[in-house]
Amino acid sequence: MDRIEVAKIGDGENSLNKNERFVKQITPKSEDFSRWYVEIIRKTEMADYAPMKGMMVIRPYGYAIWENIQQLMDMRIKDAGHENAYFPLFIPESFLRKEMEHLEGFAPEVAWVTHGGQEELEERLAVRPTSEAIIGSMYAKWIQSWRDLPVLINQWANIVRWEKVTRPFLRTTEFLWQEGHTAHETAEQAQEETIRILYLYKDFVEKELAIPVIEGKKSVREKFAGAEETYAIEALMSDGKALQMGTSHNLGQHFSKVFNIRFEDREQNLQYVWQTSWGVSTRLIGALVMSHGDDSGLRLPPQVAPFQVVVVPIALGDWKKDVLPWAEKINLDLRQKGIRVRLDSREEYTPGWKFSEWEMRGVPLRLEIGPRDVKENRCVAVRRDVQKKEILNLDSLVQLVPDLLRDIQTSLFHQALDFQRRNTHWAEDYEEFKETIESKKGFIKAWWCGDTGCEDKIKEETMATVRVIPIRQEEEEKAGRCVYCRKEGRELVYFARAY
């Protein structure tokens, strides 16, 4: 038999010593979610606090996750016809001031360079809070004719925003991201690009990160400074708060008029281009922790895990002679199959310690092999998603492991989707809304009249905001009334408290 499921972890050479269960104690997330989150990030060595307030050092384990995210996302962006470029970190103050709405939107967060060496600069330089201004100035030089369009450029870069309240990966003074900036002939093409990227993000987050999202438009209050429309994907974290995972902005002709980005159209008339911008950041790593993590640590989707499999030889008897060669063969065979695998043959740690360490680090699949396993031509596989053991035949291991990894990826998505569905509620009136946001948390679907006054009051009184206005409005028997003012509801929206 190739696979035998073992419902319960039993005794024997592959069982854990209960006293070694946790390498480093983690606060239960039901007890203190914020503390649990920070402890996981630090104890799994994903990141650490930098000496400068509000900044973090992304350690190799965390950066490996980002590299996998970056690689998978970059492939999708390029497959959609975009090219990568790089623009300066510093932006002249005059560029930002040309677009005052943009500057005012970021003004409290902008970091300024005032001196170069010992000399005071003639003009302050902003440390990139986003790149619309500098990219707009370059597009004005590069775009002359309709033949130059569309311009489809993306850059991978760092961003600096002087945040008052920070948390590793979710909100830090400096973070990493990709930002796409495109220019088009028509408004229709720009809108098509905006929506295309929104669904590219949705597909990526759901398939690669195993996190279900709700896609839609932002309210006027929540949209990006300088955009005509902002669209976003929103996910529900396991504490019931929402997290904005990515945004796609239709900039219209706002920046093109400011930076004079014009082209000669097909009728030889001068026109302003239509633009978009869009991005996701290292915030996605924080979402992985909060969506999938449990009291034992991380649970990483195989698609982005630094190690998809860890092989642990059991150090009993003459294990270096009897067991280690088999473990090394498993390691080599899986690597040749394209699987990211780690062989943990360290002698200074017990098998039980290793089991707990890799469980905390969220490795999707652990393969344990001891002397008895070698004799029976098998190994024990432990799935991190469901904490279940399976006995695998060594002869078919290379064929079985990819199937197991796909099962784990799918399992994590469906667990998160089930959580989202169980924690999405309806609210017919404001009293029900307030009771739900306090007692149940999660997403609240409700009708809204579209008045920013109602939106502001709801935020002020409950700390809940309009997360998205779904693109595809759900069909109801009849339209409801605004959850706050009771006027006729214009749109069905998702509210939540958010990070």
Residue owning tokens 């996190």: 211
Which amino acid is located at 263 in the chain? F
What value does the CA radius of gyration of the chain take, rounded to a whole number of Å?
26
Which amino acid is located at 228 in the chain? E
- The domains of the chain are located at 3-11+298-410, 34-292, 424-496
| CATH number at 3-11+298-410 | 3.40.50.800
What's the whole-number mean pLDDT along residues 336-360?
96
| CATH number at 424-496 | 3.30.110.30
For 200-219, how does the pLDDT look when each residue is reduced to its tens digit (9 = 90+)?
999 999 999 999 999 999 99
Element housing 250 (H / E): strand 242-252
pLDDT at position 14: 55
Q: Coil, helix or strand for 283?
A: helix
Backbone phi, psi, residue 316, to 5°: -125, 140
pLDDT at 8 over 50: no
What's the whole-number mean pLDDT along residues 355-364?
97
Average pLDDT over the chain, rounded to an integer: 93
The region, left, alpha or beta by phi > 0 then psi within -120 to 50, assigned to residue 387 is left
Band of the pLDDT at 19, cuts 50, 70, 90?
very low
**Strand partners for 21:** none
- Among 105-119, 143-157, 272-286, where is mean pLDDT lowest? 105-119
State CA 106 to chain mean position distance.
Answer: 22
130 touches 91 (CB < 8 A): no
Residues contacting residue 453 through CB under 8 Å, at least 6 positions apart: 485
pLDDT at 1 over 70: no
Band of the pLDDT at 20, cuts 50, 70, 90?
very low
DSSP annotation of 489 reads P
Maximal C-alpha separation, the chain: 84
For 247-297, how does the pLDDT look when each residue is reduced to its tens digit (9 = 90+)?
999 999 999 999 999 999 999 999 999 999 999 999 999 999 999 999 999
What's the whole-number mean pLDDT along residues 351-372?
96
pLDDT at position 3: 63
pLDDT at 126 over 90: yes
d(CA 455, CA 435): 17
Burial environment of residue 56 by CB neighbours within 10 A (0 to 12, 13 to 18, 19 or more): buried
Task: Residue 304: name the closest of 69, 492, 86, 142 by CA.
Answer: 69
**Strand partners for 232:** 216, 247
Q: The tokens of 472 are what?
A: 């595809």
Residue owning tokens 């990826």: 409
pLDDT at 10 over 60: no
Annotate 198-223 with DSSP letters as a single string: HHHHHHHHHHHS----EEEEPPTTTS
Q: Compare 165 and 305 and report the one with higher pLDDT.
A: 305
Band of the pLDDT at 226, cuts 50, 70, 90?
confident
pLDDT at position 328: 97
Paired sense of beta strands 309-313 and 365-369, if any: parallel
Task: Residue 361: name the closest of 15, 72, 24, 56 by CA.
Answer: 24
Paired sense of beta strands 214-217 and 229-236, if any: antiparallel
Instruction: For residue 113, give Cα distances in angstroms to 44, 125, 344.
Output: 35, 5, 47
d(CA 51, CA 378): 49
Packing angle, helices 452-462 and 430-439, rounded to 10: 40
pLDDT at 317 over 50: yes
Backbone phi, psi, residue 410, to 5°: -65, -40
CATH domain 34-292 topology: BirA Bifunctional Protein; domain 2 (3.30.930)
pLDDT at position 262: 98
What's the whole-number mean pLDDT along residues 303-313?
98
Neighbours of 282 (CB within 10 A): 25
Paired sense of beta strands 151-160 and 83-84, if any: parallel
For 449-492, how does the pLDDT look when each residue is reduced to its tens digit (9 = 90+)?
999 999 999 999 999 999 999 998 765 545 789 999 999 988 99
**Strand partners for 279:** 179, 247
Q: Compare 309 and 8 and report the one with higher pLDDT.
A: 309
Q: Compare 3 and 289 and report the one with higher pLDDT.
A: 289
pLDDT at position 9: 42
For 22-77, how does the pLDDT look when each residue is reduced to its tens digit (9 = 90+)?
456 899 999 999 999 999 999 999 999 999 999 999 999 999 999 999 999 999 99
